[in-house]
Structure 1
Amino acid sequence: MSDAVRDSEIAAEQAYLDRVYVRLDQLRVTAAEVEKAGYNMARVGNYGALVERDAMVYHAARRRRALESEHDGLVFGRLDLGPDGVSGADAAAVAPVVPGGEVRYVGRLGLRDEEYESLVVDWRAPAAAPFYRATPADRMGVVRRRSIRSTNEKVVSIEDDLLDPAAAPADLAVIGDGALLANLSRATGRGMKDIVATIQREQDDAIRSPASGITIVRGGPGTGKTAVALHRAAYLLYADRNRYESGGVLVVGPSDVFVGYVSRVLPSLGEDTATLRSLGQLVEGIQATRHEPPDVAAIKGSLRMQRVLSRAARGPVPNAPDKLRILYRGELLSLDKPALDELRRTVFNLGVKRNAARAKAAGHVLDALWRQSVQLLPSGRQQKREEFAPDIAERPEFVQFMRGWWPVLRPTEVLGWLGDRQRLQRWANGILSNREIALLASSIDAESLSGSASASGSRSGSRSASASVSVSVEDVALLDELHEYLGDPPARKRAPRDPFMVAEGVHEVSTISERMAAARAQAIERPDDYRDYAHIIVDESQDVSPMQWRMVGRRGPHATWTIVGDPAQAAWNDAAESDRAMEAAVGTRRRSDFTLTTNYRNSAEIFAVAARVIRAAQPDIDLPTAVRSSGVDPVELTTSADELPGAVIDAAKTLLDQVEGTVGVITPTQRRAEVSAWLEGLDAARLQTVGALDSKGMEYDGVLVVEPAAIRDEAPTGFRTLYVALSRATQRLTTVGTQPF
């Protein structure tokens, strides 16, 4: 195809794009005017006008934000359909190039012109499905599919797929060799790109799978699993907004680095209501980023910890009083340790959570004391139970005893108890080995955890620690498990705050309509520790430990699920235990399984290195197929320990010169801070240093893997972690180490 024809086709698409952006500007102005007019309606002075004002302002502001967020790359596709693909309702007002057919433009949101004719079809709408799903074998009426790449408001390139040559007119222009591979060669930038313009059919099948039940997506590196999961969230919010926006969509990723990486994808698709959390952020008030060494992580992630934590949460409080003595009417009433232990077991047999049972525990102690008084005192000096209980309960010695024997406990405090090896030995006896008990106890920073519990003791509604608490990502699931046994501390019931209160006794002038609207807003406000999401997406699910599955499952007891992962990348060694925990978390709903088989990220040369590592450990494993070749082989460098810092710096500089986009430096987990210090002063906007575990789900234009052999050897599943690290690059891969891998 000549340059003149290409330039002519680009000019035609530019003319259409100009028309779209003119309309976009008009709609922005209209939305802003409607929003302003909504505020002015308050001047009418009646209740109906105020209700209309609330609705107008809300919807106009939301529409304005959507229009403003979708400026760059607004239109990315065009479908030229033959007569069998005509729908009419979604056709653009453009002369069809196929006789009897129609033209349909696909973009990030739907737009119509002043005559309500279609300008752009929203990518999530059924009319846009052929852009992703049509193939030469199943054309869905598509003759030519065109991908349009633009920067700001300028078309910079177009790429065509001719799906039905027999139906194409002789003069139909077909530009390029296909959009997908050209798009994959572009720089990725600092955050993850949405792949809305390059979704392929196997990916689209998963994105548009039925909303109910469980959707499971498996695929190797570069197959677009994460992008599929995020686009599925956007699709569900579009298809059933009332259900999924009101109930909420939770996206759970493996690390904070990953969450930051994908955080721009959903807003770029017009969705900003989903909640993104890493596994270290799921407990309110905790921001854990540190990972345990593999042997400790294996203990903390095992379902055996459920039994250990149950014993700790239901057992006697360390250093609690083991006897109670009260002088009553000349007689000494006493309860010794065996009697107190029996009372504690009786309370827990009621099935109540520890903090919620504090009043019941006091009642059982008072009952036991009253029964003693009946036995010791003559009938004339005895009191009835309802008279005896308040008399004893108000005594300072009883109050002090209850504070020590049945205190309000927080998860961080109980987790800190596990740092005492003697206590842990009692709770873990018959569950963990002596070696595991020693490892677990040494991993707990008891001083930090107990200090946090003391600091938060004055906040009756707080159940967890601040972000400064020294807990690991693996500890977070243990804190959540402990909360299940402890429950929230009793909190005083406070009267709802009046949103129109200016100062004590002084109220803002407001109408009944405004007050009703404020009451509705308070009624639907979600708590920080929200646990009833409508849909939960779990990415990198192969690394979710059994205890973490229990934690995630509590966030959506009635949710539908999308679970994305790759068994070949699993860092968790006991797949059977993890599968059982996942089954318990998601339930027995109907399932839809999808497998992604094409690696779009890596060049064949890069993926060959990663495949060599994983096949050395698992020769028969099924791997995706890398569909493009760059002609550039990865660079493998070996150096001495003394020269390693200089070699890493030189390799990072070379990669920064070779690629336009980002460079990821991937290190053994325990050496990230050290390597990051070596690279201080290099291009911080484009260079990111991450530990091998935190590299999961990430994508960079150039990747430097430091000490690959150490990554492979730092855990029993280290060969899988190295496989992941080696498959993060789209363009260039360099490894630097002190020994071959």
Structure 2
Amino acid sequence: MRAPQRDRLDRDFADELEFLTRVRRALAWMLEHAQMRVATGDQVAGDRYTAERLGRMLKSYAKELAEEPDSPLYFGRLRFGDGPDADEHRNQSYYLGRRRITDDTGQPLVIDWRAPVSSRFYRASARDRQGVAARRRFGWTAHHPVRLTGFEDEHLDRGEELGTASQLLTAEIERPRVGPMRDIVATIQPDQDELVRADLDRSLCVQGGPGTGKTAVGLHRAAYLLYVHRRQLTHNGVLVVGPNPAFLHYISAVLPALGEVDVRQLTLDEVLGETPPRAVDTDEAARVKHDARMAAVLRRALYAQITEPVEPVVVPVGSYRLRVTVTALARQVVRIRVEDVPYGVGRERLRARMVAMFQRQLEAHGETPTRRWLDTIGRARPVVAALDRAWPKVRPDELLTALLSDPDALARAADGLLTAEEQKAIRWQHKPRSYKSAKWSAADQVLLDEIAGAIEHPASYRHIVIDEAQDLSALQCRALARRSAHGSLTVLGDLAQGTSPWAASDWHEQLAHLGKADSPVEALTVGFRVPAVVLAFANRLLPGLHVAAPPTRSLRTDGALRVRHAPDLPSATVAAVGAALEHEGSIGVIATDALLATLSAALRAAGIAVNAAEEDSPDRRVTVLPAALAKGLEFDHVIAVEPDDIVRAEPRGLNRLYVVLTRAVSRLDVLHSRPLPALLADG
């Protein structure tokens, strides 16, 4: 490098260090100011509720600011030119970070990655500069204390564009993965950014192969929507639904790192209710209970509770005897049923119409009923008795207990919908003493939610992010659809990774079950995390999966793959883990449940500390987990033990193996004592 050029770079770097000092000083001032507001917040708020809410918000904000120095304060800089496409940003420069940082005068030093102008950092190119003259990426040390190590420039106005060839971008993408998932604000690609910034009212489905960042896109979209539409999302908010607790633990740090702590992150079981299942269905019973036809069976059983009125309703009021005839009452029952409202709404509508008929009769006598009188009439014993006979109250657990315990009731509700064999599969062999003593399975809880949703719509979220959505059954989709009836969805998944018995093979059908049939399906097919050599090996399985999922190609040219025959699997696993420990990063040992205990014991006997699936001890880099819990997780080094066992363990075992093989983001060891599955052996 020529001396003048080096001198210029040295001056630039010195300027950057000076700016970093200024930003750190500003952040310290923001933290001091935030802590002062925490101390005085209770004196500002007007009432107890407001004070508590304000206190929580201020404490959370102060905590986030205190933790900010542990991560880079910014990752990029935009410098605009003076062309017309620069708009109001002409000749301006902006530093981009995870949060906005201002000095003591309120002048922004770092802008939030979600700000509108930040999109140009991700999308501008030499072909479409969007007014950007130069883009700068910064390099930082990976460990605390965080230090600025350098920068990399792209002069778009000179036709320079590194794109994914950027050394700093590559280093950030390939950085060893230890602990929970990180945010990707420094590495968002143009196609990902378009999805992240999709409007709040737009539902979309992201079909993403392994390592394409679909989960990160969904989480960053949640953070973006909260930034842009915070007022709209304050009351009914954002929900993230994950497939299991291990997955939610893995992603738990992403949104807080982006400054968003008021997002609920739940498994579907937690969405449906906090009571854990106490019964286990047979495979056939679970399959039938999760089928879309069960919604019609349950609705038929629910509305069968409505009966035709057989006697009039008479209410004495002073010297009057007000009367609703059988014909008038029956007419209203028929009308309300045609109106197709939730069952509980229909019951209250029938009550209201009876009261209205009494009101008109009283007014015909020259009386003017008050609101209190109307409320009293609605609760009068004759009215409630008539209501209970014609449109009775229904408890979901009581109705489902009766349906699954009574062959005749089930046959009537399922006539023309379920076969005799399917009815037998879901029918209880032993009737509980009452609905209160019934033991519910996981599938039963979905049915209970379906009944409850038919009685009364549940509270709705403004936006729901659903990960691993390809594994949801039709009834599970309907449960989430009810909770987003007035909101939008970000649906994330990969059809090739569908492992449940009812996994989707087509996104449009799944979106219809989710209540968003017209939503677009966007495909992410470029992988940034899984090395090409690993992905190519796993892609050999795609022809056997029979799904319409496009293959994923990887930009990663590093990585390593070793496939070894090992008669003694525990010893081979110990040796593979020992070799992996010589590298940086996390290590995942993945096998069937039947092998896990043996492998864990062998590792511990060798003096290697291990985490179980839902543990995350920083002192233990090795996690041993069953193949069934591997979905959505990533490890720098994966050791997949006995693939043939994984395939044979379940009906969708080939899909499960595809998931396991694509958890590796640096190195993959495959250990087998029996022959490999044919598709892998033939490659």
Q: Could you state the TM-score of these two structures normalised by the residue count of structure 2?
A: 0.74
Q: 1:208 aligns with which of 193, 197, 209?
A: 197
Confirm whether residue 162 of structure 1 aligns to residue 154 of structure 2. yes
Partner of 1:127: 117
Partner of 1:271: 260
Cα separation, 2, equivalents of 1:289 and 1:76: 49
CA contact (8 A) 1:217 1:594 kept: yes
CA contact (8 A) 1:553 1:586 kept: yes
Q: 2:25 aligns with which of 22, 27, 37?
A: 22
Cα separation, 1, equivalents of 2:255 and 2:398: 34
Report how far residue 15 of structure 1 moved.
3.5
Cα separation, 1, equivalents of 2:662 and 2:280: 22
> Quick one: structure 1 residues 55 and 535, their matched pair in 2 at CA, closer, same or farther if it must change by over 3 Å?
closer
Report how far residue 138 of structure 1 moved.
2.1
Partner of 2:213: 224
> Quick one: structure 1 residues 291 and 182, their matched pair in 2 at CA, closer, same or farther if it must change by over 3 Å?
farther
For 1:34-113, list aligned pairs within 5 A.
34-40=37-43, 60-61=58-59, 63-84=61-82, 101-113=91-103
Q: 1:414 aligns with which of 387, 400, 418?
A: 400
* 1:683 partner letter: V
Confirm whether residue 149 of structure 1 aligns to residue 119 of structure 2. no
> Quick one: structure 1 residues 8 and 608, their matched pair in 2 at CA, closer, same or farther if it must change by over 3 Å?
farther
* 1:83 partner letter: G
Q: 1:116 aligns with which of 106, 123, 127?
A: 106
Cα separation, 1, equivalents of 2:407 and 2:2: 77
Question: Cα deviations across residues 546-595 of structure 1 (Å, max 9, x unaligned)?
Answer: 11110001112100222222223233657478744532533466x45432
CA contact (8 A) 2:570 2:598 kept: no
Cα separation, 1, equivalents of 2:399 and 2:234: 36
Cα separation, 2, equivalents of 1:647 and 1:160: 43
> Quick one: structure 1 residues 271 and 620, their matched pair in 2 at CA, closer, same or farther if it must change by over 3 Å?
closer
* 1:564 partner letter: L
For 1:663-678, list aligned pairs within 5 A.
663-668=587-592
Confirm whether residue 719 of structure 1 aligns to residue 643 of structure 2. no
> Quick one: structure 1 residues 50 and 216, their matched pair in 2 at CA, closer, same or farther if it must change by over 3 Å?
closer
Cα separation, 2, equivalents of 1:183 and 1:548: 37
CA contact (8 A) 1:31 1:64 kept: yes
Report how far residue 86 of structure 1 moved.
10
Q: 2:35 is paired with a residue of what secondary structure?
A: helix
Between 643-652 and 242-251, the greater mean CA deviation after superposition: 643-652
Cα separation, 2, equivalents of 1:429 and 1:694: 38
Q: 1:154 is paired with a residue of what secondary structure?
A: coil
Cα separation, 1, equivalents of 2:460 and 2:651: 36
Partner of 1:329: none
CA contact (8 A) 1:711 1:722 kept: yes
Q: 2:221 is paired with a residue of what secondary structure?
A: helix
Between 544-553 and 591-600, the greater mean CA deviation after superposition: 591-600
Cα separation, 2, equivalents of 1:267 and 1:412: 41
Q: 1:70 is paired with a residue of what secondary structure?
A: helix
> Quick one: structure 1 residues 9 and 721, their matched pair in 2 at CA, closer, same or farther if it must change by over 3 Å?
farther
Report how far residue 134 of structure 1 moved.
2.0
Confirm whether residue 594 of structure 1 aligns to residue 544 of structure 2. no
Partner of 1:694: 629
> How many equivalent pairs are there?
602
Question: Cα deviations across residues 10-37 of structure 1 (Å, max 9, x unaligned)?
Answer: 6654433232122111111112223333
CA contact (8 A) 1:545 1:578 kept: no
Cα separation, 1, equivalents of 2:242 and 2:430: 28
Partner of 2:315: none
Report how far residue 426 of structure 1 moved.
6.8
* 1:739 partner letter: P
CA contact (8 A) 2:570 2:602 kept: yes
Question: Cα deviations across residues 72-119 of structure 1 (Å, max 9, x unaligned)?
Answer: 22423232524237999999xxxxxxxx95532111111122343331
Partner of 1:283: 272
* 1:146 partner letter: R
Report how far residue 432 of structure 1 moved.
3.7
> Quick one: structure 1 residues 53 and 553, their matched pair in 2 at CA, closer, same or farther if it must change by over 3 Å?
closer
Partner of 1:477: 446
Q: 1:15 is paired with a residue of what secondary structure?
A: helix
> Quick one: structure 1 residues 556 and 272, their matched pair in 2 at CA, closer, same or farther if it must change by over 3 Å?
same
> Quick one: structure 1 residues 106 and 719, their matched pair in 2 at CA, closer, same or farther if it must change by over 3 Å?
same
Between 644-653 and 137-146, the greater mean CA deviation after superposition: 644-653
Report how far residue 722 of structure 1 moved.
1.8
Cα separation, 1, equivalents of 2:516 and 2:174: 41
Cα separation, 1, equivalents of 2:546 and 2:578: 35
For 1:181-192, list aligned pairs within 5 A.
181-192=170-181
Between 276-285 and 596-605, the greater mean CA deviation after superposition: 276-285
Cα separation, 1, equivalents of 2:164 and 2:346: 69
Q: 1:454 aligns with which of 425, 436, 439?
A: 436
Report how far residue 408 of structure 1 moved.
6.7
> Quick one: structure 1 residues 290 and 439, their matched pair in 2 at CA, closer, same or farther if it must change by over 3 Å?
same
Q: 1:250 aligns with which of 230, 239, 246?
A: 239
* 1:133 partner letter: R
Cα separation, 2, equivalents of 1:416 and 1:85: 73
Cα separation, 1, equivalents of 2:499 and 2:49: 54
CA contact (8 A) 1:663 1:701 kept: yes
CA contact (8 A) 1:651 1:704 kept: yes
Identify unmatched segments of 5+ residues in structure 1: 92-99, 317-344, 362-385, 395-400, 456-464, 488-528
Identify unmatched segments of 5+ residues in structure 2: 306-332, 352-376, 612-616, 678-683
Question: Cα deviations across residues 262-293 of structure 1 (Å, max 9, x unaligned)?
Answer: 11111110001111111222112235699978
Partner of 1:709: 644
Partner of 1:304: 293
Q: 1:84 is paired with a residue of what secondary structure?
A: coil
CA contact (8 A) 2:288 2:294 kept: yes
For 1:322-721, list aligned pairs within 5 A.
353=343, 409-411=395-397, 414=400, 418=404, 428=414, 430-433=416-419, 436-437=422-423, 439-440=425-426, 454=436, 471-472=441-442, 474-485=443-454, 531-571=459-499, 575=504, 579-580=508-509, 582-587=511-516, 591-618=519-546, 622-630=550-558, 632-639=560-567, 643-655=568-580, 657-668=581-592, 682-684=609-611, 685=617, 686-721=621-656
Cα separation, 1, equivalents of 2:257 and 2:514: 31
> Quick one: structure 1 residues 632 and 293, their matched pair in 2 at CA, closer, same or farther if it must change by over 3 Å?
farther
* 2:441 partner letter: V
Question: Cα deviations across residues 415-447 of structure 1 (Å, max 9, x unaligned)?
Answer: 696478897667656544455455545xx7979
Report how far residue 199 of structure 1 moved.
0.6
Report how far residue 611 of structure 1 moved.
0.6
Q: 2:183 is paired with a residue of what secondary structure?
A: coil
Q: Could you state the TM-score of these two structures normalised by the residue count of structure 1?
A: 0.69
Q: 1:740 aligns with which of 673, 676, 679?
A: 676
CA contact (8 A) 2:635 2:664 kept: yes
Identity %: 30
> Quick one: structure 1 residues 649 and 154, their matched pair in 2 at CA, closer, same or farther if it must change by over 3 Å?
closer
CA contact (8 A) 1:85 1:142 kept: no
Cα separation, 2, equivalents of 1:281 and 1:557: 19
> Quick one: structure 1 residues 180 and 478, their matched pair in 2 at CA, closer, same or farther if it must change by over 3 Å?
farther
> Quick one: structure 1 residues 294 and 649, their matched pair in 2 at CA, closer, same or farther if it must change by over 3 Å?
farther
